[in-house]
Each structure stands twice: as C-alpha cells, then as structure tokens.
C-alpha cells in the first residue's frame, strides 16, 4: 500500500472547493503553503546532529591542484573537517557510476574526485563545521595552489574547431535534411543569409541549490535535495557511492523554481553525502548565488540561416546551421536546428549542428532548451525574408503553412496553429499594422509590432501511479513526480478529483519522494501527459474495482451495473438513468470491511500510434515594443501569446506557465547574458546585480490565449499535449522583429541591450 508520508506535507485544496472539471481555473493548492513559509525547501530541514558544509570554489579554468593548505581553516573554532580530493570518502571511479538519468555522452564531472581542474569555479574543498558561520569563515582561509594550463572559453573564436557531437545522448534526434537545400537556396529568386548569436544564460531560480542529508542511527540517509527528480538524485547517490536503494531516500516536496537547472543533480548533493559519510552526521550544503553560476548554463550558440523563396513568398530552401559550446567532459547536445525543418512547408531543407568543446562546465538544459535559441534565429530570419518580399510577416507564415512536418514527412497529431495565428492576430489588432518600419510613433518612442511562431515537443514518458481510496472517503494519489512551481500538485489533484467524482478537497496528490511509484524527471513539459495520464488511469482502475465491490453488496441498488452505466459524483456511485439508485463510496468500503482500496497504473505512451505522427505544441506570439532611440531603451508593452497545446487541464496554472514563460522570453530578449572574462575563463556577472533578469517594471501586458485542441494520439487519456516551455519559444524573435518594425534596425543577437541600438 502506498501510504501518505507525513513529512512531505502534501497540500490539498481548501474545504469548499467542491467538484472540479478539466479546463477550470483553480488556484494552486500549494500556494498558501508557499507564501506563508509553511512549505519547506531543501535547505530548511534540520536534525540535532546537523553539520554545515561550505564549498570552496576554484579560481582557475584549467590545470591541476598542486597543494591545498587547510591548517588555518582547521584552526577555526567549530570546524570539523576540510574535505578535499585527498581525504574524501570513497567514491566509485568509473564514468557510468556518475551518469545521472539525463547525463549527456561523456565523462560526468565529479566534485573532489582528483586534482584535475576542468573549469573556473569548480568546487575544490568542502569545509564542514558545527555552525554555518564557522564553515563560511574557514572556507575563506583554505589556500589552494595550482599548476595552471592554458584554457579556451571563446566560442566565436573557436568556430573552426566545431565537430559533430561524438556520441549522442539517448533520445536525442540528430538533425536530418531533405532535398538539396544548398542548390535550392542558390537557385531561389529571393534570399536571406544572416548570422545570429545567443550568449550564455543562467537559470537563476529563486531557491538556492541545497542538499540536507539527514543521517539515521543505522546510517540510512534521507536527503532533502533541490532537484527536478527525487529518483534521479537517489539513483545518482546510490551509484556514485555504492549505496543500495534502501540506504538512501531523496525528497523534494517543494522546489523553488528550477527551469532545467535541477534536471541533473548538482555538486552540492555528492558533497553533502560525502560530508555525512565522513562525519557520520547529518550535513547540509547550500550553494551561494555566485556558486549557482558554476554548474551548467544555456549554451552560447552561433547560427547561420539561409532562406530562399519565390517572389510570391513560397519557401524554396531552408538552410540552418548552428554551432554551440559544450565542455571537454561531455558532449552536451540540444535540439536547436530541427525545429526549422518542422515549421514550414518546404521541399529542400538542410540542417547542420556542431559543437565546440571549451573549458567551462557542461551546458545544461534551460527552459525550452534548443528551441529558445534555434527558433529565435529561424523566426528572425523569416521576418527578414518577409521584408525582402515586401510581405506581411504573418501572411508569409500562412503562405507556407503545413499540417505535415516536412523533415519527418509525417502529419502532425494535431496542429491548430492556424487558429493561434487567427485568434492571436485578432486580439492583438495585427491587421492595423503598417508594412513599413518606422511608421508608428508615440511621444519620444518609436512603436513597432512583431510576431513569431513557436514550437515545442509534445512529449510523453512512462510513469507509475498509485491511487488509494480510504474508508473515510479520502483519495490519496501518489507518484514520485515533482512540482517545480509548475502546478503539479494542483493539476494532478484536479485530474483525480474529476475522475473519481470527488470534491477536490478530499483528494491528496503526493509527490517528491524517491520511494513513491516511479515518475520521470519533471522536464520537457511532459508531466501532465505522463503523470497526469497515469493519475487518470489509476483512478479508472479504482472506479472499476470500487464499482465491483458496490455491485456485490446485499440488495445493491447498483447490482449488475457496469462502469458505463454509472457515474461517480459527490463521493457516491449512481446510475446514469436513475441517480436515486446510489451508493456512497464510504459505504462500499465499510460494507466490504476494508480500510482502503488501492489500484496501481503503469502509464506508457501509445508508441505504435505515435510513430505515425509528428507531435508538437505550437504558438503564435505577437508583441509591441516602444523604443527610445536616444537612450537605446526598449519596452515590451504588449504581448499576445496564443497557444495550441492539446486540452488544457488546469486553466489557471497553465496560463501562469505561459505568462511566466513570456516574462522569460522578454528577459532573454532584452536582459539576460552571462559574460565571460576570457583571460580568466570565468563568468564575471555571477550575481543579480549584474546578471539582469526582467523585473516587474520590465513587464507590461501579457495576454494568453489557449486555442481549442484535443490530441488523443499524444494522450489517449487526457487529450493534453503539455504546456510550459512553449511559452518562451518565439518571444525573443517577436521582440527582435518588433524592434526592426519600430526602428529599421535589425538585431540578430540576444540580449538586445541598449548599446546595440545606439
Ligand atoms: Mo525543462 S529545461 O525540461 O526543466
């Protein structure tokens, strides 16, 4: 039986919420806990024997540690140990032991593994002390000496060293080509040939990366970790240190944002475990904001795009090449150029993707990895083509509309993008847009309107879900899923409540514990299609078994009834044809003399059906900018984002996902970039003062539209396709295109800072 784990404090809807249906706008049920401080995060768990670890960060980008002087640090009152590669506990040495579930090909980084330095900011020691203050002070006294080697961190100066990724990550689809893109481009009457560049970005979730390892008398470790998957962290710790799965439990019931940074376990986790193993105590390690710039980032990317068209706007050639950084340790890959072969009808498409290894940490998936940069470049190129053709940018997209993915040569399982264009344009007022740049002005500001298309995968993975109906009428549904702020608690509870016909407050969905039924990492906007479908499936099974029990009751009013004859509502089962013939769920369990009934469901995608289709979510983004040319200042004053993502289950959290993602897009467009001082191979602006993210004053009107779609290929159970990452895709391009419309200046790099407009 999967029981409620009290420590997880899974939230439920407030009393009085009542019946819910998919598509309704329900406020998030974890909201209150999160804003009142009741929700506990990884760094907020405590144990009486807790020791505090503070990480010492390395200062060179490449080389070897020759010596570490720890005497001064060890002399500080309260310091228990200074752990380095020389005195750390045993860890497994082979690469495979350190590959987490999302690791790319190569040799994963392991903290304190050896004297070798791979990047600036690499953890080189962990100071463990009775108090955080002692550990922090002592960390400043650790002296590290290095043999320094020459490093390379400049992508744009190393493009000639680009290579095809040596090995592919499982599940990664390398780009393919169709027809002859080069020949078709050269023969095309109208052509665009441009280069684009996107700088490094960092995730910067509000919650710091932290791991609190609570060690029990018998050595069992309960780890509260900041991660997008408790089971991924559990697997990583078990394999890396040779601990069995019942010696380690990982929990993450609340996560304060992650955006992809928690897809892989970060180095504070193995460090905290090492501390606990060495001291045989509980240990907490929390990274500083600066240190959160030292474990993976959205990679710097260069693109060249060539588009060819007939004078009427028909696309004749699409040729998109990208070169992106990776580390020397691993070949990080992301889907950057493939989207350019899925967006528009075209018979000659050439796609190329290469990486350059440098001496920074391995890049890491960040919200809509690949698409955020790839579609930015492609959709700016489409805008450039529209001006070459003297054609409205939306008309150009409609001219090349396709219901088939050209590169895959398969129809989309569903694609209401045309409706996104229509509803988005109408809401925005696009038809009033003058074609010529610099035609609109308001006071000191030039006004411009731009648009772009967005696309993202409609992914489904596998999951196990348990649903337990208790004799008191409460339903507990469990899966080791994660809620990184996306609304998982809310949407899963809604699905279960609707399926069982229970008032939502009688349902608890518990997640965030590695011992719960298997769930995938929360990533790729796939939790609803995967875990949500599992919740639906488990409830369907539960309904069947409860009905069976009900039919067997003496003088049952439901005798001989089958599932299709009855309805589950308000905690009862009743005949559709005669609602007066009913049995309370509690009555069914009481009559059978059981405390609870459990059903488990194993959710797998419909592979055979899915294979015949291309599967994606789509969007149309319209935006208005106001540009003060004297100051180079850009304000994004209006965004309309129209989304086609299958059935929307939880209207409010889904809309919040999209408006939040649009904020990210504006931030990517105008603010976010981590600069490297190549002399030192180090990120310079590793703090919120200098790494700019959009603040309230940068955000104006954001309007989200969900167009109607129902996709039973992607999700047989729910018709959903998943929503979240699609919201950022295309936003930076729409902003860039609006800036061109306002000013006539074409910006092909992000972020579009004032200096680029002056
Ligand atoms: Mo998302 S980058 O799959 O967390």
Tell me, letter by letter, the H, E, C secondary structure of 287-304. CCCCHHHCCCCECCEEEE
Percent of the chain with pLDDT over 90: 98
Residue 301 lies in a domain: no
Residues 617 and 741 in one domain: yes
The pLDDT of residue 167 is 64
Both 595 and 490 in one domain: the answer is: yes
Strand 749-750 relative to strand 63-69, pairing: unpaired
700-723 core/surface letters (b: 16 or more CB in 10 A; e: else): eebbbbbbebebebbbbbbbbbbb
Percent of the chain with pLDDT over 70: 99
Quick one: average pLDDT of 664-681?
Answer: 97
| CA 214 / ligand 1 centre spacing (Å) | 28
Residues 425 and 560 in one domain: no
The pLDDT score that the predictor gives to residue 351 is 98
Overall average pLDDT of the 245-258 stretch: 97
In this predicted structure, what is the pLDDT of residue 163? 93
**Banded model confidence at residue 227, pLDDT cuts 50, 70, 90:** very high
Beta bridge partners of 356: 325
How many Å apart are CA 238 and CA 249, to the nearest integer? 10
77 within a domain of the structure (yes/no): no
From the CA of 724, give the closest atom in ligand 1. 1
- Whether residue 621 is found in the same domain as residue 747: yes
Distances in whole angstroms, Cα of residue 539 to Cα of each of 13, 58, 532, 542: 18, 51, 11, 5
Q: pLDDT of 428-480, one tens digit each?
A: 999 999 999 999 999 999 999 999 999 999 999 999 999 999 999 999 999 99
Ligand 1 geometric centre to CA of 522 (Å): 7
Confidence band for 198, pLDDT divided at 50, 70 and 90: very high
Q: What is the pLDDT of residue 168?
A: 64
530 in the same domain as 630: no
Residue 367's Cα: distance from chain center in Å? 5
**Residue 426: its H or E element:** helix 417-428
Give the Å distance between the CA of 354 and the centre of ligand 1: 22
Q: CATH number, domain at 536?
A: 3.30.365.10
Q: Select which of 379, 384, 624, 725 is catalytic.
A: 725
Q: Residue 170's pLDDT band (boundaries 50, 70, 90)?
A: low
Nearest to 665 by CA among 724, 608, 708: 724
Domain count, the chain: 2
Q: Do 638 and 566 sit in the same domain of this protein?
A: no
d(CA 459, ligand 1 centre) in Å: 12
Last residue of a domain, one of 581, 604, 627: 604
CA distances from 362 to 62, 80, 377, 433, 668 (A): 14, 32, 23, 43, 20
Residue 414 included in any domain:
yes
Residue 662 falls inside a structural domain? yes
Ligand 1 atom at shortest distance from the alpha carbon of 261: 4
Number of Cβ within a 10 Å radius of residue 86: 14
* Residue 113 scores a pLDDT above 80: yes
Q: How many CA atoms does the CB half-sphere of 332 hold within 13 Å?
A: 28
Mean pLDDT of 418-425: 98
Testing ligand 1's pocket by substitution, the residue of 202, 367, 372, 617 carrying the most ligand atoms inside 8 A of its CB is 367
CA–CA distance, 292 with 261 (Å, rounded to integer): 9
615 and 754 co-located in one domain: yes
Nearest-5° angle of CA 756, CA 757, CA 758?
Answer: 100
Domain boundary among 604, 633, 653: 604
Last residue of a domain, one of 604, 632, 662: 604
Which residues line ligand 1 at a C-beta cut-off of 6 Å?
228, 259-260, 263, 365-367, 369, 523-524
Domain presence at residue 416: yes
* pLDDT score of 409: 97
pLDDT in tens, 14-33: 999 999 999 999 999 999 99
Residue 560 Cα to ligand 1 midpoint, Å, equals 48
- The closest of 198, 635, 696 to 448, measured between CA atoms, is 635
- DSSP structural state of residue 200: B
| Mean pLDDT within 241-251 | 97
Whether residue 570 is found in the same domain as residue 646: no
191 Cβ contact partners less than 8 Å away, ≥ 6 residues apart: 185, 306, 307, 308, 309, 388
Q: Is the dihedral of CA 708, 714, 719, 720 positive or negative?
A: negative
Mean of pLDDT values over 487-509: 98
Taking the CA of residue 367 as reference, the ligand 1 atom at the shortest distance is 2
Angle between the N-to-C axes of helices 371-389 and 731-743, in degrees from 0 to 180, rounded to the nearest 10: 30
* Dist. CA 178–CA 643, nearest whole Å: 28
Q: Would the pLDDT of 169 be above 70?
A: no
Report if residue 32 sits inside a domain. yes
Residue 532 above 90 pLDDT?
yes
What burial class does residue 89 get, using C-beta atoms within 10 Å of its C-beta: 0-12 exposed, 13-18 middle, 19+ buried?
A: middle
pLDDT score at 103:
94
- Band (pLDDT 50/70/90 cuts) for residue 671 is very high
pTM of the predicted model as reported, rounded to 2 decimal places: 0.97
Average pLDDT of the segment spanning 244-258: 97
Extract the tokens encoding 713. Answer: 């290929």
Q: How confident is the model at residue 172 (pLDDT cuts 50, 70, 90)?
A: confident
- CA-based nearest residue to 227, from 485, 484, 35: 484
| Domain-located, residue 151 | no
Is the same domain home to 481 and 550?
Answer: yes
Per-chain mean pLDDT for the chain: 97
Q: Which atom of ligand 1 is nearest to the CA of 260?
A: 4
Pocket test for ligand 1, best of 725, 728, 729 (most atoms within 8 A of CB): 725
Question: 539: exposed, middle or buried (C-beta count within 10 Å: 0-12, 13-18, 19+)?
Answer: buried
Q: How far apart are CA 444 and CA 361, in angstroms?
A: 44
- Rounded Cα distance between 565 and 562, Å, is 5
Q: Are residues 520 and 449 in the same domain?
A: no
The mean pLDDT of 272-290, rounded to a whole number, is 98
- 321 is known as an active-site residue: no
In a domain, 466, yes or no: yes
Please identify, by atom number, the ligand 1 atom nearest to the C-alpha of residue 725.
1
Same-domain status, 542 and 443: no
Q: What single DSSP character describes residue 563?
A: G
List the residue whose alpha carbon is closest to atom 4 of ligand 1.
260
The model's pLDDT over 320-357, given as tens digits with 9 standing for 90+, comes to 999 999 999 999 999 999 999 999 999 999 999 999 99
Indicate if the pLDDT at residue 173 is higher than 90: no
- Domain span including residue 734: 410-459+607-758
State both tokens at 632: 């180079």
Q: Counting atoms of ligand 1 from 1, which one is nearest the CA of 228?
A: 4
Same domain (yes/no): 581, 640: no
Mean pLDDT confidence for 352-367: 97
């Amino acid at each position: 039986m999967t029981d409620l784990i009290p420590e997880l404090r899974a939230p439920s809807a407030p009393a009085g919420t009542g019946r819910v249906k998919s598509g309704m706008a329900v406020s998030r049920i974890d909201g209150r806990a999160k804003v009142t401080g009741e929700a506990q995060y990884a760094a907020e768990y405590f144990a009486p024997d807790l020791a505090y670890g503070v990480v010492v960060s390395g200062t060179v980008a490449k080389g070897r540690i020759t010596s570490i002087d720890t005497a001064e640090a060890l002399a500080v009152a309260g310091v228990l140990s200074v752990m380095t590669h020389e005195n750390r506990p045993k860890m497994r040495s082979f690469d495979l032991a350190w590959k987490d579930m999302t690791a790319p090909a190569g040799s994963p980084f392991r903290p304190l593994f050896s004297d070798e330095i791979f990047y600036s900011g690499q953890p080189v020691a962990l100071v463990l002390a009775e108090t955080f203050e002692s550990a922090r002070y002592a960390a400043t006294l650790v002296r590290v000496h290095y043999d320094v080697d020459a490093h390379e961190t400049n992508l744009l100066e190393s493009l000639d060293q680009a290579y095809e990724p040596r090995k592919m990550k499982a599940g990664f689809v390398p780009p393919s080509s169709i027809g002859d893109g080069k020949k078709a481009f050269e023969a095309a009457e109208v052509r665009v040939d441009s280069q684009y560049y996107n700088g490094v970005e960092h995730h910067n979730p509000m919650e710091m990366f932290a791991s609190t390892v609570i060690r029990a008398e018998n050595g069992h470790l309960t780890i509260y970790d900041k991660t997008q998957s408790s089971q991924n962290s559990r697997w990583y710790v078990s394999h890396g240190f040779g601990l069995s799965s019942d010696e380690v439990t990982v929990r993450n019931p609340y996560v304060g944002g992650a955006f992809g940074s928690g897809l892989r376990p970060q180095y504070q986790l193995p460090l905290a475990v090492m501390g606990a193993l060495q001291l045989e105590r509980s240990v907490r390690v929390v990274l500083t904001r600066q240190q959160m710039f030292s474990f993976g980032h959205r990679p710097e990317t260069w693109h060249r795009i060539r588009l060819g068209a007939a004078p009427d706007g028909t696309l004749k050639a699409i040729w998109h090449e990208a070169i992106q950084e990776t580390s020397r340790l691993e070949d990080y890959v992301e889907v950057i150029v493939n989207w350019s072969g899925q967006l528009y009808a075209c018979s000659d498409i050439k796609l190329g993707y290469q990486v350059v290894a440098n001496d920074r940490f391995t890049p890491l998936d960040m919200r809509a990895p690949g698409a955020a940069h790839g579609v930015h470049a492609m959709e700016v190129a489409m805008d450039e083509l529209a001006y070459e053709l003297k054609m409205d940018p939306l008309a150009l997209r409609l001219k090349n509309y396709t219901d088939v993915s050209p590169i895959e040569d398969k129809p989309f399982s569903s694609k209401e993008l045309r409706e996104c264009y229509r509803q988005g344009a109408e809401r925005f007022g696009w038809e009033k847009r003058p074609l010529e740049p610099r035609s609109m002005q308001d006071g000191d500001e030039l006004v411009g309107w731009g648009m772009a298309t967005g696309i993202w995968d409609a992914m489904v993975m596998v999951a196990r879900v348990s649903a337990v109906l208790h004799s008191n009428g409460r339903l507990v549904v469990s899966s080791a899923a994660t809620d990184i702020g996306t609304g998982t608690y809310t949407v899963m509870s809604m699905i279960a409540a609707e399926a069982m016909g229970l008032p939502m407050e009688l349902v608890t969905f518990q997640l965030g514990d590695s011992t719960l039924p298997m769930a995938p990492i929360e990533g790729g906007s796939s939790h609803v299609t995967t875990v949500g479908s599992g919740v639906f499936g488990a409830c369907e099974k539960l309904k069947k078994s409860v009905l069976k029990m009900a039919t067997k009751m003496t003088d049952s009013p439901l005798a001989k009834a089958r599932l299709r004859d009855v309805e589950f509502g308000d905690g009862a089962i009743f005949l559709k044809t005669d609602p007066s013939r009913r049995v309370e769920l509690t009555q069914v369990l009481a009559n059978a003399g059981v405390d609870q009934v459990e059903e488990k469901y194993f959710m797998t995608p419909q592979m055979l059906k899915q294979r015949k289709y291309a599967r994606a979510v789509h969007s149309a983004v319209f935006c208005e900018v106001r540009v003060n040319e004297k100051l180079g200042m850009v304000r994004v004053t209006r965004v309309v984002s129209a989304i086609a993502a299958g059935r929307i289950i939880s209207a409010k959290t889904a809309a919040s996902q999209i408006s939040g993602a649009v904020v990210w897009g504006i931030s990517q467009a105008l603010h976010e970039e981590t600069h490297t001082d190549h002399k030192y191979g180090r990120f310079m602006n590793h703090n919120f003062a200098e790494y700019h993210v959009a603040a309230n004053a940068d955000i104006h009107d954001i309007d989200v539209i969900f167009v109607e779609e129902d996709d039973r290929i992607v999700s047989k159970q729910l018709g959903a396709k998943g929503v979240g990452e699609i919201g950022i895709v295309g936003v930076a391009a729409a902003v860039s295109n609006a800036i061109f419309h306002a000013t006539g200046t074409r910006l092909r790099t992000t972020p579009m800072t004032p200096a680029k407009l002056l």
